[in-house]
Amino acid sequence: MIFVKKSTKELVHGEAKEKKEKPEKIWKIGNSGQEREKKERPHNDRPPIFRTKVFWGVVSMLLGLTIAFVGVPMLQASVTETKQTVCFAQDVKAGTKVTEELLTTTDMSLYHLPIGAVHDPQTAIGQYVKTDAVAGDIVTTPRLSTDYPGLDPQLAKLPDGMVAISISLPDLAQSVSGKLRQGDIIQLFAVEDNNSFTAVAPPELQYVEVLAATYVDGSDVQDNQNATEGESGEDDTLSTVTLLANEEQAACLAGLEHNATLHAALVVRGDDAAKAAALEAQANYFAAPDASADTAKTDNAAQTSTPAAAQNNG
């Protein structure tokens, strides 16, 4: 056997190397008949950096600095920044059409504004208020509507120069068996004398649009309701119809309502093109020269007087 002399350094490093090259130790521990292995963890195996306390400490400091120098100034800017906002200048009831006199503007913080706040008064002018509002309330888009929010929207959008006027048609024979409905185009005939065999067909009332058909109690006739009897069992026969008319037509209707018996004849329903053509023809009648209009009225009066004269001669 040969003995090799080693220095102290070699002896120290040699032993350390032998320790590294030793196989990892394994312990087997029994647990209710089952065995599990536990490996010795190497001394140089360090956890990832994102699992260390130093890493999360640095992240926390960076997050705090971001909030302090970015988030807080942005929040302060949103609270202090103001913008012109539209408010109601006085108390307003639901269904009111918004005009310039009903509005006022004031600078308000954007942080406290509700969703849909109106900043331009022209956006609200011409629309209708859906709910009651008091002076100082902020105008918002959800509480405005382009359509009249009430029960009779057709009466809130009358064209310029036109009026709504109602006439009585209490008998089924006068109102097409009570089947007249909103949007119909009708022609009106007037019986001025109950003893006359001929009715008058005023050219001013040749094509008139129905805005609403109404029962005796003032409720509108709907397409899904019976025209003769309602759910209450009371007589719900159509009583009046509301018509869209100009001033001359309204004056004629008022006179005939008082001095004659009116009968309606259905002309157009459900055909938008035919409806537009009929209303245009009626408008052309009023746009014609006064002489031709007077001639038509004279001829119509002559035709009306002829049957009466013939009856007297008989």
Q: Is 123 exposed, middle or buried (0-12, 13-18, 19+ CB in 10 A)?
A: middle
Residue 136 covered by a domain: yes
Kindly state whether residues 134 and 265 are assigned to the same domain: no
d(CA 88, CA 137): 6
- Find out whether 179 and 227 touch, Cβ atoms under 8 Å: yes
pLDDT in tens, the chain (314 residues): 555 566 666 665 665 555 555 555 544 555 554 455 545 555 556 667 777 888 888 888 888 888 888 887 777 766 677 889 999 999 998 888 899 999 999 988 877 788 899 999 999 999 989 888 999 999 999 999 888 777 677 777 788 889 999 999 888 888 888 889 889 999 999 988 766 678 889 999 999 999 988 887 767 777 554 444 444 444 567 888 999 999 999 999 999 998 888 999 999 998 999 999 999 999 999 987 763 445 455 445 434 443 443 344 43
Kindly state whether residues 272 and 228 are assigned to the same domain: yes
Kindly state whether residues 126 and 253 are assigned to the same domain: no
Residue 4 covered by a domain: no
Kindly state whether residues 276 and 297 are assigned to the same domain: yes
Kindly state whether residues 193 and 120 are assigned to the same domain: no
- Find out whether 109 and 80 touch, Cβ atoms under 8 Å: yes
Q: Two tokens at 107?
A: 């600078």
CA torsion 157-158-159-164 (nearest 10°) is: 170
Decide which of 145, 166, 189 is a domain's last residue. 145
Residue 13 covered by a domain: no
Ranges of beta strands (E only) in the chain are: 26-31, 34-39, 82-88, 103-109, 128-129, 144-145, 163-168, 185-191, 208-214, 240-245, 261-268
pLDDT at residue number 153: 72
Residue 227 covered by a domain: yes
d(CA 146, CA 133): 17
Kindly state whether residues 160 and 138 are assigned to the same domain: no
What range does the domain containing 116 cover?
81-145
User: What total number of domains does the chain contain?
Assistant: 2
d(CA 169, CA 263): 7
Residue 11 covered by a domain: no
Kindly state whether residues 164 and 277 are assigned to the same domain: yes
Kindly state whether residues 163 and 286 are assigned to the same domain: yes
Helix ranges (DSSP H) in the chain: 8-21, 53-66, 72-80, 121-124, 247-259, 272-287, 290-313
Rounded to whole angstroms, what are the CA distances from 127 to 99, 101, 138, 158, 202?
8, 13, 15, 15, 38
Q: Two tokens at 179?
A: 């089947």
pLDDT at residue number 90: 92
Kindly state whether residues 92 and 162 are assigned to the same domain: no
d(CA 243, CA 182): 9
Residue 64 covered by a domain: no
Residue 99 covered by a domain: yes
Decide which of 145, 177, 199 is a domain's last residue. 145
Domain of residue 107, CATH code = 3.90.1210.10
Kindly state whether residues 302 and 161 are assigned to the same domain: yes
Residue 16 covered by a domain: no
pLDDT at residue number 194: 66
Q: Two tokens at 184?
A: 């119909």
Kindly state whether residues 165 and 206 are assigned to the same domain: yes
pTM for this structure?
Answer: 0.52
Kindly state whether residues 137 and 208 are assigned to the same domain: no
Decide which of 145, 169, 189 is a domain's last residue. 145
